[in-house]
Every structure is written in structure tokens, then in C-alpha cells.
Amino acid sequence: MVPTGVVAGFPSPAEDLGASRIDLNKQLVIHPQATYVQRVSGNSMEADGIFHDDILVIDKAIRPRHNMVVVAVVDGAFTVKRLYDQRGRVKLRAANPTYPDIVPKEGQTLEIWGVVTNCIKQFPRA
Amino acid sequence: MYALVDGNNFYVSCERVFRPDLNGLPVVVLSNNDGCAVARSNEAKALGIAMGAPWFQIKHLAESDGLVALSANFALYGDMSDRMMSLAAGLGPAQEIYSIDECFIDLTGIRGDLVARSHKIRARILQWTGIPCGVGIGATKTLAKLANHIAKTADRKPGSYPAKLAQVCNLATLEATERDAVLAATAVNEVWGVGRRISQQLQAEGIHTVLDLMKLDAATVRSKWSIVLERTVRELQGTPCVDLDSTPAPKKEIACTRSFGNPITELHHLTEAVTEFATRAAEKLRKQHSQTAQVLTYIRTSPFRKDDKQYSRSVVTPLRRPTSDTTAIIKGALQGLKYLYQPGYNYAKAGVMLLDLQSDSQHQTELDLEEGDSEEDRTRLMTAMDSLNQRFGKGTLKTASAGLAGERRAWSMKQLRRTPAYTTNWDDIPIARA
């Protein structure tokens, strides 16, 4: 045992646990080289808890699957939507049902840029 | 065996990751002060735009062919390079980062199908970063570099080489007749280290293809040309003459990186290492009569120490003006290090890369408002330092890296078309529509 400098009193019950402070990077980032952030603009995903000005954490290493929230490339721009991929039909759906689905045209493939793993909301600090 | 992993049209590819609207369009990235094209998309190459073409000469193509020109965004390229390099490192036990977009991997001891393994790493780099790469494999670094050229050309121009060599090319697994056909289809000036002057001399002697060069007698080459070309010929013949770290100066960037003997945890030890790397990089810079405008610093833990917490980051520090002054370069590199350093990691590797190089003969004069030595004095000091170090051994005269004084100075450069620092500045991150 190595003395810890405390000469009297009850030993700290946390001493043996080897606990280290929660690291947000470890919680939010699975694949560091594949992780990117983008800022949300618009309201179509509010029902999924994604609001205007929120920050998306995006992992390009994760294979996109049905019902995942993804960033896709639509008309050359990044778009966040929910991926619908069932029975060979692929489209993007907004969480807000008043927005139409985005369906790739004949012969077009839907380009999924990455999978959204987290959404960060920053509150005003001043 | 060596592999060379090289990002295709790297600067343009980095831009396209965050600007998917640029896919399919002719795109060039312009150098320092928007002077000339330093990277071209395949579509821009197809328009006949040459490497280094001055912007004013190709400007009209914006109007006629939709050419898009961007200012170099080194903060973005540095970060994307870091991501790509740390994934490429998984290919083999040792890595030499040769420039911002290419690295050599030592494949010693790697068993199994190297081509399949390389395709897997290439696919991972493409998926995780969006950067397409070519991988060349060969018995020597020169052969790996040549194989990389073949892999990229076969991918870009179908029909130029057998289709199976596209993206990943291993020269060592080809049948002799097939390999000779490939080498006979490759011009001699594509060989690493064969410049324009040498290739003209070679062609005058009837040596037009890589195969012609490879078939020469090494001793004859030495007596007729030079020991350098002899080394190249030996490398083409499969005898390794260039180790993983001791390489001739690259064209676009100068890098000095090294793995540490033992893991380093303390900032002051990293400071010493980075000072040393910056010093050596500055020497190389002066040797090739160049100046740098941006210094990239990186530190990283070892991906092979699986139990260690992993950390790998890089940062690009712009310098106040292009320089080859060791002091200024060290200062930039250490500013970067101070920003990157996080306690609690076992650092295994660090490096300094000098970017945005230009010739030291072209000067941009400015009104000197600072106290201190004039530029001529500094140049003479650096020359004296180099010759003393050459005469009495590396590191005889060093720059004391104790006091890193001074605030970061304002930096201004003519970069009218620069895209945001998408991955390194919180205020610059891309927008996702919802």
C-alpha cells in the first residue's frame, strides 16, 4: 500500500475504485477519426427532439440502417432526416409529418453522409 | 515490403467531403495568396489545367466551363490528413508520414493477402473520412510509389492498365511478363526521384519507359549519371536502398516525425521533441531554398498499445509571413503543441510538417514595424547555424526553446475563396437542413 498523505481520519471510500471523471468525448465519440459535427437549421425534426441550432454528432463509420437518424446529401446539401429502409424501399422521412418524404428518383441512389449518434443543445449562457 | 497510401487529389477531396455540391465539377485549390493551382479534381485535369497553373491563366474557365477555384484551407486539410494517416497506420507496424497526403507503411511481418488487406483499409478511409486513396505495394519504397501511380492511373483512366490494378496495386504479385508489360507502359519520368532534367537525358539515350530504366546495369548508371540514379535503379530492381525514415525532400511539404523510444507523458519532453523536429524541418526547408507559411504539429498515442487511452490530434499554425527562420518555425510548432497537449496520455509519436511552401527567391516585402534583427541578418544567422551544424554535427548550435514569448500575431493573407474550417472551429461547422 502506498500512503496517500492522509494521516488521520476515515480513509476515503473512493480510494480503491480507481474512478476517473466522466469524459464526454468517450461518451459521445465512438470512432474519433469518423466523427464530425454539424449545426441544425430548420424545424422538420422537432418531433425527434432535434431543434433549430442544435449540434449533431455524426459518425461516418456506422452503417446506416432503417429508422436511424442520418445526415444525407440532398441536392448537394446536408439534410438531417430519419432513414426509412424496408423491403427494398429507401427514403428519408422528416419527424414532422407535414414535411413530405424525400424519395430518390429512378436510377438515383440516396447518399447517406453519416449516422447521427447524439444531438447537443446549448442554452444561452449570458 | 512497403506500401504507399496516397489521397487522390487530396485538397480537392477534403473540400468535397463538406461541399458535396462540388462533386462532378471541375475544381482547383489555389496556393498561398490565390496564386496558382496546387490541387485539381479529375474534371479540372480533363480541362487541361496543369499542376501549378497560374490562376490568371485559367480564370476564364470559370466562365466557360464552370471551373470552381478555392483558396487553400490548411486547417481543414491538416485535420483530414490526421484522420486519414491514423487509419492508414493500421496497415502495418511502422509508418512514415511523407507529406500531408501520403505515407509509407512498412509491411514487414504482415501475413496474408496484402491486396485484400489494403482494399479493406482503403474502404475504411473512404467511409470514415470521405477521402479516396490509392495504395501501391512493392519490395522497395520506389516500387511502392510507382505501384501507387499505377493504382491511381488505372482507377482514373480505365484501359490505361489492367483493371484489377485500380485503387490497389501490388507489383510483387504480378507474373514477370505482366509486370514487364505494366512497366513498359509507364513513362520513365513517373519514377520517384527522376526529375525533368534526368528524364530528358535518359530519353536522349533511348530510355523511355520504367522497364528500360530497370534493365540498365546499376554500375553503369553510377558511372554515367549519378549515385542517386543508381540507387533508384537498384530500388526498381527490388533492392531496398531507402529506409522508412531517410528520404529525399518531398515536393509540397516537409515533414519531420518520429516515434519515441518510450512513451512520453510530460509537456516539457514533448516541447523538446517538437523543437528538435521543427529545427530539422527548417534545415530541410533551407536546403531546398523554400519558405513555409504554415506549420502543422501533431501528437499521438500508439494504436498498438491497446490498453492505453488513445489521443491523436493535429493543428495548423499560420505564420505571420512565409519564412525559413528556425526560430519562427519553432515558435509556430510550439504554439500548436501547447494547444494540443492534454495530460494523462502516453504519447508515442509527434511530428512537425511545414506546409504552403514557396521559393525563398520570391519575396513579399512589408513595412517592418518590429524591433529586432533585419531579415538579412536573420538569413545570415541561419546560414551560419546550418554550416556550423554541418561541420560539427547535428545540433551543435540550437535554439533555446525555453521562453515562448509573445501573443499570436494577426495573420492576414489574400484568401478570398477559402471554405470554413469545418472540423477545427466550432463557429465554422457545416449546416444540416432539417
Domain assignments of chain A as residue spans, ordered by start: 31-120
Under a CB-based contact definition with an 8 Å cutoff, are residues B332 and B317 in contact? Answer: yes
Determine, for residues A42 and B434 on separate chains, whether the beta-carbon distance falls below 8 Å.
Answer: yes
Ordered DSSP codes for B81-119? HHHHHHHHGGGSSEEEEEETTEEEEE-TT--S-HHHHHH
Kindly report which listed range (A17-31, A91-105, B7-21) carries the lowest average pLDDT score: A17-31
Q: Cα B286 to the chain's mean position, in Å?
A: 17
Cα–Cα dist B109/B97, whole Å: 20
pLDDT at A79: 97
Confidence grade of residue B242 (pLDDT, cut at 50, 70, 90):
confident
pLDDT at B261: 73
Residue B146 grid coordinates: 510507382
Residues of A in CB contact (< 8 Å) with B are 31-34, 36-45, 50, 52, 55-56, 60-61, 71, 73-81, 94, 111, 113
pLDDT tens string B287-305: 888 889 899 999 999 877 7
The pairing of beta strand A111-120 with beta strand A89-93: unpaired
Closest CA to B328 of B302, B303, B291, B299: B291
pLDDT tens string B320-365: 888 999 999 999 999 999 999 999 999 988 999 998 888 777 655 5
Residues of B in contact with A42 (CB under 8 A): 433-434
pLDDT at B377: 66
pLDDT at A13: 66
pLDDT at B393: 55
Under a CB-based contact definition with an 8 Å cutoff, are residues B168 and B117 in contact? Answer: no
Kindly report which listed range (A9-18, A94-103, B127-136, B321-330) carries the lowest average pLDDT score: A9-18
Q: Which of B23, B86, B127 sits opposite A61 (nearest CB)?
A: B127
Q: Cα B342 to the chain's mean position, in Å?
A: 26
pLDDT tens string B158-193: 999 999 999 999 999 999 999 999 999 999 999 998
**pLDDT score of A2 more than 50:** no
Cα–Cα dist B413/B75, whole Å: 14
Contacts of B225 (CB under 8 A, 6+ apart): B198, B201
Cα–Cα dist B31/B327, whole Å: 24
**pLDDT score of B207 more than 70:** yes
Confidence grade of residue A61 (pLDDT, cut at 50, 70, 90):
very high
Burial degree of B227 (CB within 10 A; 0-12, 13-18, 19+): exposed
Nearest C-alpha in A relative to B425? A37
Sign, CA dihedral B411-A33-B351-B14, equals negative
Confidence grade of residue B109 (pLDDT, cut at 50, 70, 90):
very high
Task: Choose, out of B22, B121, B433, the residue to mutate when testing the contact with A (most A CBs < 10 Å).
Answer: B433
Q: Which of A31, A55, A79 sits opposite B433 (nearest CB)?
A: A79
Q: Which of A32, A36, A77 sits opposite B433 (nearest CB)?
A: A77
Cα–Cα dist B61/B58, whole Å: 6
Q: Return the percent helix, strand and coil in chain B, to nearest 5.
A: 45, 20, 35
Cα–Cα dist B201/A66, whole Å: 61
Mind telling me how many Å the CA of B233 is from chain A's nearest CA?
38
Residues of B in contact with A45 (CB under 8 A): 434
Which residues of A are part of the catalytic machinery? 44, 81
pLDDT tens string A110-125: 899 999 999 999 998 8
ipTM of the complex as predicted: 0.87
Q: Mean pLDDT across the stretch A69-83?
A: 96
Task: Choose, out of A78, A80, A99, A121, the residue to mutate when testing the contact with B (most B CBs < 10 Å).
Answer: A78
pLDDT tens string B16-55: 999 999 999 999 999 866 788 999 999 999 999 999 899 9
Architecture of the domain defined by A31-120: Ribbon (2.10)
Count of alpha carbons within 13 angstroms of residue B404, beta-carbon side: 17
How long, in residues, is chain B? 434
User: Is B151 or B246 the better-scoring residue by pLDDT?
Assistant: B151
User: Is B263 or B179 the better-scoring residue by pLDDT?
Assistant: B179
pLDDT tens string B368-413: 555 555 666 677 777 777 766 665 555 556 555 533 333 222 233 4
Residues of B in CB contact (< 8 Å) with A are 19-21, 23, 83-84, 86-87, 124, 127-130, 310, 312, 422-423, 429-434
Residue type, B400: A
Closest CA to B114 of B98, B137, B131, B96: B137
Residues of A in contact with B130 (CB under 8 A): 60
How long, in residues, is chain A? 126
Under a CB-based contact definition with an 8 Å cutoff, are residues B340 and B393 in contact? Answer: no
pLDDT at B367: 55
* Phi, psi (degrees; rounded to nearest 5) at A40: -85, 140
Nearest C-alpha in B relative to A64? B127
Determine, for residues A80 and B434 on separate chains, whether the beta-carbon distance falls below 8 Å.
Answer: yes
Determine, for residues A39 and B130 on separate chains, whether the beta-carbon distance falls below 8 Å.
Answer: no
pLDDT at B407: 29
pLDDT at B168: 98
pLDDT at B395: 53
**pLDDT score of A89 more than 60:** yes
The pairing of beta strand B133-138 with beta strand B168-170: parallel
User: Is A15 or B259 the better-scoring residue by pLDDT?
Assistant: B259
Instruction: Give me the residues paired with residue B70 across strands.
Output: B29
Closest CA to B257 of B347, B344, B343: B347
What stretches of B288-393 show up as alpha helix (H) in DSSP? 326-340, 375-392
Under a CB-based contact definition with an 8 Å cutoff, are residues B260 and B301 in contact? Answer: no
Determine, for residues B83 and A38 on separate chains, whether the beta-carbon distance falls below 8 Å.
Answer: no
Mean pLDDT of chain B: 87
pLDDT at B263: 84
Where are any strands of DSSP class E within B286-374?
A: 290-301, 312-323, 347-355, 358-359
3-state secondary structure of B299: strand
